[in-house]
Structure 1
Amino acid sequence: MEATKIASYANALYAAHGDKAEAEAAQRANAALKEQKTGEAEAWQAVRGSIRRLRGPNQS
């Protein structure tokens, strides 16, 4: 997935779920791994990282 799409998904997920968005992305990544969709799981991990950067430092 390209960087602009990752950022777009991250922003949308964060707008919809707030501080729970990172957990949502992690759940989607795990679900993709269970279905052996490694490319999709990697994309969701990238979205998770982008959400983490959106939230800023000192957020757990």
Structure 2
Amino acid sequence: MQVIQTAEYARALYRTHGDRAEAEAASRERMCDAAGKRAEAEDWRAVRRAIRSLRGANES
């Protein structure tokens, strides 16, 4: 997943789920890991990091 797409996913999840967005991304990451979809799991880890950055920026 490209950086721009990761940021778009993160913003969409944050808009939809608010403070639960990071937990939602973590859940999807775990599902991908369990299914053996390593590349998708890594994408969701990147989304989680982007959400964490968004939350930090929004808490100021």
> Would the TM-score normalized by the shorter structure come out above 0.5?
yes
Q: TM-score, normalised by structure 1?
A: 0.93
TM-align CA RMSD: 1.3
**TM-score, normalised on structure 2?**
0.93
Partner of 2:47: 47
- The percent identity for this pair of structures is 52
Cα deviation for residue 52 of structure 1 reads 0.2
The count of aligned residue pairs is 58
SS for the counterpart of 1:15 is: helix
Unaligned runs of at least 5 residues, structure 1? none
* 1:5 Cα deviation after fit: 0.2
Q: Write 1 or 2 for the structure with the bigger share of helix.
A: 2
Quote the residue 1:30 is aligned against: 30
Aligned counterparts of 2:5 and 2:29: Cα–Cα separation in 1: 16
Q: State the partner residue of 1:7.
A: 7
CA shift, 1:18, in A, is: 0.1
